[in-house]
Amino acid sequence: MAVLPIKTFPDPVLNRVCRQVNEVDDDLKQLSQDMLDTMYAAPGVGLAAPQVGRDLRLVVIDCTPRDQEPQPLVLFNPRIVEMEGQVIFEEGCLSVPDFTSDVTRAERVVVKAMDLEGRPITVEGNGLMAICLQHELDHLEGRLFLDRISPLKRSLYKKRRLKQIKRGDE
């Protein structure tokens, strides 16, 4: 079990557009496992590769309630092929400490991706799962949920965060 350090705003790796994964080799299998360990330890419901400093199109997700059997999902090169409806949910992010905000997203999405064995996989998400998929996929485009809130709210958080970092209590 390896828990990786999580990159936080405003680390520039979080703004990078991530690279396509061509083949799931042993290193990437290990990275996915480490990302799952990191996500469960945080605890969080999703984690994208740039959050651990890797600009790769890889996300891990588990939206199962904590008192149930875990259902980890590892997705390479995920892309949304269908989206519908609208839902507003108060989001947070392991890379955006001490902040949550309402974000508007699609209520249902269908995502196509490649699984750990390199096979094509289709995932349908509703509610929390749909929100989580959209949030994590945004990370692969270098986007944070901060980019989906009002500019005023975003700049207030930015100021607060930079002060926090200056004081050294990250």
Q: Could you say whether residue 140 binds Zn ion (CB under 5 A)?
A: no
Q: Could you say whether residue 74 binds Zn ion (CB under 5 A)?
A: no
Nearest to 35 by CA among 20, 18, 48, 16: 48
Taking the least distance from each CB to Zn ion, the nearer of 93 and 140 is 93
Q: Tell me the closest approach of the beta carbon of residue 48 to Zn ion, in angstroms.
A: 7
Classify residue 75 by burial, with Cβ atoms within 10 Å: 0-12, 13-18, 19+: buried
**# residues near Zn ion by CB under 5 A:** 1
Catalytic residue flag (residue 136)? yes
> Cβ-closest residue to Zn ion?
93
Nearest to 65 by CA among 87, 97, 90, 43: 43
Q: Could you say whether residue 93 binds Zn ion (CB under 5 A)?
A: yes
Distance CA 4, CA 54 (A): 11
Distance CA 142, CA 9 (A): 12
Binding range to Zn ion, per CB under 5 A, among 22-30, 85-93, 120-128, 162-170: 85-93
**Which residues in this chain contact Zn ion in the complex, by CB under 5 A?**
93
